[in-house]
């Protein structure tokens, strides 16, 4: 199989037009004649960008899970839920199916994204030859599931909106909302910055 970089071809990131960048490698650039975007062989400094975004996301992951996500006041009761205790509450309320979905979207998916992207960046950097097809599939899964983690932010805002207006109870978002949304956005940016083609590049030419 012939690869684009070996014959000087690269596809425009915007319009997917295949452009001949010439024989020179790595630094070669051209302007796409169809949409005038910059065409390169690989996303510029992808590894560095992904690593930086991942470190920031890991730093926010702890407060996102340890702090309170939602305060509920229903006189005379008062509870402060983290993401995990919110899942437990949902389970006890008799919705184990939804509890599993929220657990997957809010806790499992961000953790999986952080670990998997870290793994992909390291193996790409080391030009690992280990099952590139499997690693590419892993990356495609990350691209699809990434934004479902926003689920809990939406739930908290909605509950705040509805319940605030009634006098029977009061719901307020907690300090975890901000770092939590931060983790989701940062991991989304990180997976968008990653270049899957580097999983298939063998050594530096």
Site string for other proteins, 137-176 (x = CB under 8 A): x-xx------xx-xx-xxx-xxxxxxxxxxxxx--xx---
194 token code pair: 């990653």
Shortest spacing between CB 3 and other proteins, in angstroms: 5
Q: Is 116 in the site for other proteins (CB under 8 A)?
A: no
Residue from 52, 84, 132, 138 touching other proteins (CB under 8 A): that is 132
What's the rounded Cα separation, in Å, for the pair 175 and 173?
Answer: 7
With contacts defined by CB under 8 A, name the span among 25-33, 44-52, 53-61, 113-121 that binds other proteins.
25-33
Q: What would the two tokens of residue 110 be?
A: 């961000």
Q: Is 127 in the site for other proteins (CB under 8 A)?
A: no
Query: Which residues between 48 and 77 bind other proteins (CB under 8 A)?
Result: 74
| 103 near other proteins, judged by CB under 8 A | no
CA trace torsion 99, 185, 201, 134 (10° rounding): 10
- Return the H-helix or E-strand segment holding 26: none
104 binds other proteins (CB under 8 A): no
Quick one: 52 or 198, whose CB is closer to other proteins? 198
CA count, 13 A, side-chain hemisphere, 113: 35
Q: How many residues bind other proteins (CB under 8 A)?
A: 72
Decide: residue 10, CB within 10 A, 0-12 exposed, 13-18 middle, 19+ buried. Answer: buried
Binding of other proteins at residue 44 (CB under 8 A)? no
Minimum distance from residue 150 beta carbon to other proteins (Å): 5
The least distance separating other proteins from the CB of residue 128, rounded to whole angstroms, comes to: 14
Q: Are 7 and 25 in contact (CB under 8 A)?
A: no
CA dist., res. 65 & res. 119, Å (int): 22
The DSSP code for 16 is: -
The residue (of 2 and 126) whose beta carbon lies closer to other proteins is 2
């Amino acid at each position: 199989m012939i690869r684009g970089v070996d014959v000087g071809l690269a596809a425009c990131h915007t319009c997917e037009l295949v452009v001949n960048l010439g024989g020179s490698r790595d630094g070669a650039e051209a302007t796409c004649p169809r949409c005038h975007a910059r065409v390169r062989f690989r996303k510029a400094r992808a590894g560095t960008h992904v690593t930086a975004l991942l470190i920031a996301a890991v730093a926010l992951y702890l407060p996102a899970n340890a702090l309170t996500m939602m305060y509920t006041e229903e006189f005379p009761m008062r509870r402060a839920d983290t993401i995990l205790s919110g899942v437990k509450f949902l389970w006890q309320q008799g919705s184990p199916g939804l509890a599993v979905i929220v657990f997957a979207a809010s806790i499992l998916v961000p953790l999986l994204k952080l670990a998997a992207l870290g793994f992909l960046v390291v193996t790409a950097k080391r030009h690992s030859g280990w099952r590139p097809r499997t690693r590419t599939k892993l990356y495609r899964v990350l691209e699809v599931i990434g934004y479902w983690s926003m689920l809990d932010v939406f739930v908290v805002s909605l509950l705040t909106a509805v319940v605030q207006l009634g006098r029977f109870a009061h719901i307020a978002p907690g300090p975890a909302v901000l770092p939590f949304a931060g983790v989701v956005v940062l991991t989304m940016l990180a997976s968008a910055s990653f270049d899957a083609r580097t999983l298939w590049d063998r050594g530096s030419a």
